[in-house]
Amino acid sequence: MNKKELVAKLAERTGETQKVSEMMVNAFVKVVEDELAQGGEVKLIGFGTFKVSQRKARTGVNPKTMKKMKIPAKKTPKFVPGKELKEKVL
């Protein structure tokens, strides 16, 4: 499902217009982005948690040259599904 399909489904379920639904999806995404950018997390009980994960520095290999190279530590966004979501999917 892409964003356009999500907006259409949301509009159908809520009875709102697609324009209002798109504004809500955009606002939700922006709130999550802003919170993660500040190092926080967004917990939606039963659905899951959006958070920032810290990846450690490591040594990798360039597949073209086979030379070892250092891959620096970095932060990456992560979603951890909640119990109810896991149960619905399985």
Give residue 2's pLDDT: 97
Give residue 64's pLDDT: 93
DSSP state of 41: -
The CATH H-level (homologous superfamily) assignment of domain 3-84 is: IHF-like DNA-binding proteins (4.10.520.10)
For residues 90 and 38, the model is more confident at: 38
Give residue 79's pLDDT: 97
- Average pLDDT for the chain: 96
Domain boundaries, given as residue ranges, for the chain? 3-84
d(CA 79, CA 43): 10
Q: Which helix (H) or strand (E) holds 7?
A: helix 3-14
Which residue in the block uniquely carries the two structure tokens 């920032």? Answer: 52
Strand, coil or helix: 64: coil
Strand, coil or helix: 14: helix
pLDDT tier at 21, thresholds 50, 70, 90 = very high
Residue 90 has pLDDT above 90, yes or no: no
DSSP state of 63: T
What is the per-residue pLDDT across 36-65, written as a single tens digit (0 to 9) for each?
999 999 999 999 999 999 999 999 999 999
In angstroms, what CA-CA distances link 32 with 3, 15, 50, 75? 16, 24, 7, 15
